[in-house]
């Protein structure tokens, strides 16, 4: 009877080992392989011309065929809004900024790092008063208002004159 149990343990151990090697996951008994995250980073010049370059960079990570419809529009809008605000409202910032992007399954996380800037916490920007008639509204803030509606998560960090704005969007399956 012990021989049968030992054979079963040996077979199970071999299966778990093979599954762990094949998926690159944890080989411990019962452990599931974690989804693989793809992460890329690149510097861009602080200019409006970088909008298209950053979007193409993100398309390469996600796959242009997977970044379609509402996802394509939302990611493009957010990229354009963040770069526009960076160039327009922080003109004395560093000559370049860094975009770090990560994709895990359907989740896209993008972080913009701006060196040598004053703090601007986008998460603390006041809500746009869309309930008021146009003639009573203050100019500005509508882009940030729309951006917030298009992402799942928005965060900001500032230290040593370096601002980091990150967003997460869950992409549609397809």
pLDDT in tens, the chain (174 residues): 555 555 555 554 443 433 332 333 333 344 444 457 788 999 999 999 999 999 999 999 888 777 888 999 999 999 999 999 999 888 788 899 999 999 988 899 999 999 999 999 888 877 767 777 777 777 666 778 888 889 999 999 999 999 999 999 999 876
pLDDT at residue number 1: 55
Residue 98 belongs to domain with CATH number = 3.30.565.10
87 and 150, same domain (yes or no): yes
pLDDT at residue number 130: 72
16 and 92, same domain (yes or no): no
Work out the burial of residue 39: count CB atoms within 10 Å of its CB; fewer than 13 is exposed, 13-18 middle, 19 or more buried: exposed
141 and 153, same domain (yes or no): yes
61 and 103, same domain (yes or no): yes
Chain-centroid distance of CA 164 in Å reads 12
13 and 63, same domain (yes or no): no
| Residues facing residue 153 across a β-bridge | 168
Instruction: Tell me if 132 sits within 8 A of 141, measured CB to CB.
Output: no
3 and 67, same domain (yes or no): no
Helices (H), the chain: 2-23, 50-62, 69-89, 142-150
pLDDT at residue number 49: 94
| Residue range of the domain that includes 152 | 35-170
98 and 44, same domain (yes or no): yes
Domain count of the chain? 2
132 and 79, same domain (yes or no): yes
């Amino acid at each position: 009877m012990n021989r049968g149990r030992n054979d079963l343990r040996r077979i199970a151990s071999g299966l778990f080992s093979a599954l762990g090697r094949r998926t690159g996951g944890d080989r411990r008994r019962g452990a599931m392989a974690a989804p693989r995250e793809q992460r890329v980073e690149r510097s861009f010049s602080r200019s409006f011309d970088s909008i298209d370059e950053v979007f193409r960079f993100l398309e390469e990570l996600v796959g242009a065929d997977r970044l379609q419809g509402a996802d394509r529009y939302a990611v493009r809008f957010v990229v354009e809004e963040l770069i526009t605000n960076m160039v327009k409202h922080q003109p004395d910032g560093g000559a370049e900024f860094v975009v770090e992007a990560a994709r895990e399954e359907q989740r896209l996380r993008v972080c913009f790092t701006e060196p040598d800037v004053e703090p601007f916490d986008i998460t603390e920007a006041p809500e746009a008063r869309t309930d008021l008639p146009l003639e009573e509204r203050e100019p500005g803030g509508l882009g940030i208002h729309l951006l917030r509606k298009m992402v799942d998560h928005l965060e900001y960090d500032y230290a040593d004159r370096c601002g980091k704005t990150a967003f997460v969007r869950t992409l549609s399956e397809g």
